[in-house]
């Protein structure tokens, strides 16, 4: 890792130094604390707009701002995506129902740095076996992807590990959204695809900072965006799940910036 941020000669991917890693550690920790904090509020009857308000208040109380708010016109502080919503669900009057599986995706911007992370939550305790299995496999995909992050591996190694595991379980990988570089800018190169071939794509180098955020569908991978311009849903109305971490590449492997202080990984969170 180098002291000064500079651009990799072979691409537009920024190589960050120790100060950036220290800042991302703080922003990532706040994202994880926020996802921990909101856990007991994700219950049957909860209004998604109220969950959003709680997330925004927590973020401000911790000296950060909610990066999604106003980002390309996005109207709320976080994204809440239930059941067949793939991502970018807009909080509002919708109430969570027993049996829902829900993704909450948060990005507090702390001292100028973005901590981007999302987790799945189970609403109530009557969750179908298929939904539980989708959530479990999606979490496993994220962690298998992260295991591939080390200098010398490629982005294709990450995508391949994720795709293999998802398809072995008969789930599909969403193509229309991907992970991304982050830091002082919310979304930067590289695009981190959640499918691919070993050894293909960009070579991973120390100092890179990016997200991995696989979306798995129980049915086909096709997605459509609703008339609000944001909400992405599965075309076949099948269930969808997603987890996201922000990571940094170290000299020897990976640092996950958004690990839960409470030790929460996948639901149920107890
Ligand atoms: N947090 C999302 C991501 O993982 C981005 C949300 S942008 C918004 O990249 F505008 F929809 F909030
Ligand atoms: Co992201
Ligand atoms: Co996110």
Q: What is the pLDDT of residues 222-251, one digit of tens each?
A: 999 999 999 999 999 999 999 999 999 999
Q: In the predicted model, what is the mean pLDDT of residues 188-213?
A: 98
Local confidence band at 11 (pLDDT 50, 70, 90 cut-offs):
low
Residue 262 lies in a domain: no
Structure tokens given for 196: 């691919």
79, 97, 206 from 103: Cα distances, Å: 8, 14, 30
Contact between residue 189 and residue 202 where contact means Cβ atoms under 8 Å apart: no
Alpha carbon of residue 121 to chain centroid: 13
Alpha carbon of residue 214 to chain centroid: 7
Report which protein residue has its CA nearest ligand 1's atom 3. Answer: 116
Q: Tell which atom from ligand 1 comes closest to the C-alpha of 79.
A: 12
| CA gap 39, 267 in Å, rounded | 10
Model's pTM, two decimal places? 0.96
Contact between residue 124 and residue 43 where contact means Cβ atoms under 8 Å apart: yes
What's the alpha-carbon Rg for the chain, to the nearest Å? 17
Q: Tell which atom from ligand 1 comes closest to the C-alpha of 211.
A: 4
Structural domain including 65 reads 3-256
- Say yes or no to pLDDT of 10 above 90: no
Quote the ligand 2 centre to 230 CA distance (angstroms).
Answer: 14
- Say yes or no to pLDDT of 7 above 50: no
| CA gap 55, 90 in Å, rounded | 13
Contact between residue 207 and residue 4 where contact means Cβ atoms under 8 Å apart: no
- Say yes or no to pLDDT of 3 above 90: no
Angle among Cα 142, 143, 149 to the nearest 5 degrees reads 95
Does residue 89 have its Cβ closer than 6 Å to ligand 1? Answer: no
Does residue 56 have its Cβ closer than 6 Å to ligand 1? Answer: no
Structure tokens given for 158: 């990450």
Residue 270 lies in a domain: no
Contact between residue 82 and residue 232 where contact means Cβ atoms under 8 Å apart: no
Residues 6+ apart with CB under 8 A from 79: 68, 87, 88, 89, 90, 91, 103, 104, 105, 118
Residue 219 lies in a domain: yes
Does residue 116 have its Cβ closer than 6 Å to ligand 1? Answer: yes
Number of domains the chain is built from:
1
Residue 109 lies in a domain: yes
Segment 135-183, tens digit of pLDDT: 999 999 999 999 999 999 999 999 999 999 999 999 999 999 999 999 9
Segment 13-57, tens digit of pLDDT: 999 999 999 999 999 999 999 999 999 999 999 999 999 999 999
At 25 the pLDDT is: 99
At 38 the pLDDT is: 99
Residue 224 lies in a domain: yes
CATH number for the domain spanning 204: value is 3.90.230.10
The secondary structure of 156-223, three-state, reads HHHHHHHHHHHHHCCCEECCCCCEEECCCCCCEEEEECCCCCCCCCCECCCCCEEEECCEEECCCCCE
Segment 92-120, tens digit of pLDDT: 999 999 999 999 999 999 999 999 999 99
Residue 167 lies in a domain: yes
């Amino acid at each position: 890792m180098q002291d000064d941020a500079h651009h990799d000669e072979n691409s537009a991917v920024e190589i960050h130094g120790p100060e950036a890693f220290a800042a991302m550690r703080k922003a990532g920790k706040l994202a994880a604390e926020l996802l921990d904090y909101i856990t007991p509020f994700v219950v049957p009857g909860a209004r998604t707009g109220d969950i959003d308000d709680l997330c925004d208040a927590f973020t401000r109380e911790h000296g950060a701002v909610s990066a999604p708010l106003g980002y390309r016109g996005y109207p709320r502080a976080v994204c809440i995506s239930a059941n067949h919503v793939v991502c970018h669900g807009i909080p509002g009057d919708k109430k969570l129902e027993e049996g829902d599986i829900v993704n909450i995706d948060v990005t507090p911007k702390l001292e100028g740095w973005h901590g981007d992370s999302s987790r799945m939550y189970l609403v109530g305790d009557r969750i179908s076996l298929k939904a539980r299995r989708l959530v479990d496999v999606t979490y496993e995909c994220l962690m298998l992807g992260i295991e591939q992050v080390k200098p010398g591996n490629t982005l294709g190694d990450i995508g391949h590990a994720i795709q293999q595991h998802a398809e072995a379980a008969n789930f599909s990988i969403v193509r229309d959204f991907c992970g991304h570089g982050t830091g002082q800018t919310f979304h930067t190169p590289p695009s981190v695809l959640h499918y691919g071939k070993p050894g293909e794509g960009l070579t991973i180098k120390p100092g890179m900072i990016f997200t991995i955020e696989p979306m798995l569908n129980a049915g086909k991978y096709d997605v459509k965006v609703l008339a609000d311009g944001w909400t992405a849903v599965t075309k076949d109305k099948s269930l969808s799940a997603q987890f996201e971490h922000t990571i940094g590449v170290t000299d020897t492997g990976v640092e996950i910036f958004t690990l839960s202080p409470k030790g929460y990984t996948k639901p149920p969170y107890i």
